[in-house]
Structure 1
């Protein structure tokens, strides 16, 4: 579905990604693990059009989207759920969810996806008229994921969905990632500091270090890799 080939990305003089290549196939959950500053968020931002690579290409569903406007990328089904949730704090929960569907015209589909999101996150149904900024951190993350689902993703890119959340909420978030993947047939590209949880739900993984892919393979193999265990799993 998604192919990033030989991406080089710069922020001024900083070489953030160095010849990075990553693929996500239909139905997969693929995780990127690495330390802070390794380039994980930059990779997602490059795929979604928020950052333009200096060299390399981004292909989605067989089409080169490296220079495609962001709105067109979203309408094709490549959707980015960003780090830090980025909800609209002064708008209601309902308004935030509706904004996720701003490019869509299929009213019946929008209504169906709206109900799906609220069934997935019952807490949001209880808070539809509440300002999103007054939600807890976990509820805001649920809203960010629900809003992303309203865009009708074929591939959902998620950046640090468990960051700063209580352990019980983290469990919920990872369960929901698996549910979305299985029920909605949505592929997932997951950036996550909690490498143990990420590798537990993923099919494949990549290890990113200082802008380069240093390891890749089936998630189960990475979980038992001595280097990964030492650096990222605390073992």
Structure 2
């Protein structure tokens, strides 16, 4: 299933002032995988994603993407290399239209024909965005905003997609729909690193998982095994 290594994090340490947010974590993501980071609030999941995509600078450690050291590179450089993030809380541009939000996702792209191709692909995958392309993003429902945030990330044709809490604040039915879409994106070739508080849903679609507790990885393994692990069940699956 998994191809070559796409992302490797080695012994990453991140501080916020005096707070040691990430304590020497190491993670690998292989081509074609969905890898999930699960853990309680404040465990360091979002910090991990923000460090990968250049928004947070690590104190030490390495981030290797497709064999190249990208540690501490500026965020726009990292997008150029093929990593895009769907941020926590969706962060769509509320007073811009759906189409304008999608255009921003492809701001590095100069080829008009390729832009059209990508836009059509996003509209095929998210028909609701096509129906609402002229509407202000702020007027969309939570689920539609999540789809827009994912569509916007896809416009840069990423080889690695970072998803931060995609189910947050969504009704259970929508959570199912969003996770079905994530699975489909992966089956169509996008490698995904997923941060998610809904451990049950995350482990049901992931190939591999890491459990973060207060900045440390305490468990890792195939997602199926983690879902059956008594520790994980007790802490995260309401077992």
Partner of 1:125: 130
Counterpart secondary structure, 1:205: strand
Distance 1:180 1:112 in 2: 16
The list of structure 1 runs, each at least 4 consecutive aligned residues, that deviate by more than 4 angstroms after superposition, is none
Contact 2:82 2:160 in 1 (8 A): yes
Alignment partner of 2:214 out of 210, 213, 227 = 210
What is the 5 A alignment of 1:1-235?
1-183=6-188, 185-235=189-239
Contact 2:55 2:75 in 1 (8 A): yes
Alpha-carbon offset, residue 113 of structure 1: 1.2
Distance 1:54 1:73 in 2: 18
Q: Deviations over 1:100-129 (max 9, x none)?
A: 000112322221111111111111111111
Distance 2:113 2:180 in 1: 27
Where in structure 2 are there 5+ consecutive unaligned residues? Answer: 1-5
TM-score with structure 1 setting the length? 0.98
Counterpart secondary structure, 2:25: strand
Contact 2:58 2:72 in 1 (8 A): no
Q: Deviations over 1:41-74 (max 9, x none)?
A: 0000000000000000111000000122211110
Matched positions, count: 234
Distance 1:61 1:107 in 2: 27
Distance 2:147 2:84 in 1: 15
Counterpart secondary structure, 1:111: helix
TM-score with structure 2 setting the length? 0.97
Q: Deviations over 1:176-213 (max 9, x none)?
A: 00111111x11000001110110010000000000000
Q: Deviations over 1:137-179 (max 9, x none)?
A: 1110000000000011000000000100011111110010011
Where in structure 1 are there 5+ consecutive unaligned residues? Answer: none
Q: Deviations over 1:77-121 (max 9, x none)?
A: 111110010110000000000100001123222211111111111
The alignment yields a C-alpha RMSD, in angstroms, of 0.7
Distance 1:19 1:104 in 2: 36
